[in-house]
Amino acid sequence: MPRIEVFADIMCPFTHVGLRHLVDKRAAAGKSTALRVRAWPLEWINGAPLTADLVGLEIEALRRSVAPELFAGFDPDRFPRSSMPAFALAAAAYGVDDAVGEAVSLGLRDALFEHGRDVADPRVVREIGDRYGVEPLAPDAATAAVTADWERGRARGVKGSPHFVVGTHDWFCPSLRIRHDETGFQIEIAEAATREFYAMALG
């Protein structure tokens, strides 16, 4: 069974929804497909980190439409200024193995979105790492690891966060249909794309 790769930013709420739904679906199907969450650093790509105001609007739309059970503890006053410290821990965790890497990647997002933790705070990052016996990479090594993921994603034609890859197939945010107009974000489940993605990833 192929590994699922996901190119994503730690601070992207659409990724949090996509990963949580995927993990739940995988468990329900009794599968053990490896999940590799790679860095897609939006603060490099966009020239600035995501802001709490923008992410808050996205979260409101997600809770209203497709994920009312998530983001219960989101705290915009503790929104991180960068994903790099969290990427440094996730990269170190994947250096152990896929299971530890996945657990840390999900744990970082849970800390941010469900518990209102600032995952750019070294104390928070170290606390999460300690649960799994993982030390964050040093800054130079972290930058190298994130750069390698970014270049891998660019070579695959990654469009944004989250972008899922299974073998030769890929999907940008496959489970959600997202529109943004003068009234705000409009989000709904993309039924056909979701079925196709799960069939390929977990079938």
Given this model, what pLDDT does residue 182 score?
77
The string of pLDDT tens digits covering residues 116-165 is: 999 999 999 999 999 999 999 999 999 999 999 999 999 999 999 999 99
10, two tokens: 């730690």
User: Which residues, other chains included, contact 147 with Cβ-Cβ below 8 Å and sequence gap of 6+?
Assistant: none
CA distance 10 to 104: 11
Given this model, what pLDDT does residue 185 score?
86
Residues of the chain with pLDDT > 70: what percent? Answer: 99
Question: For residue 116, how far is the Cα from the chain centroid?
Answer: 16
Query: Which domains does the chain possess?
Result: 4-202 (3.40.30.10)
CA distance 65 to 68: 7
Helix (H, G, I), strand (E, B) or coil at 174: coil
Q: Structure pTM?
A: 0.94
Task: Please count the residues of the chain.
Answer: 203
Given this model, what pLDDT does residue 6 score?
98
**Are 119 and 80 contacting, i.e. CB atoms less than 8 angstroms apart?**
yes
The string of pLDDT tens digits covering residues 35-56 is: 999 999 999 999 999 999 999 9
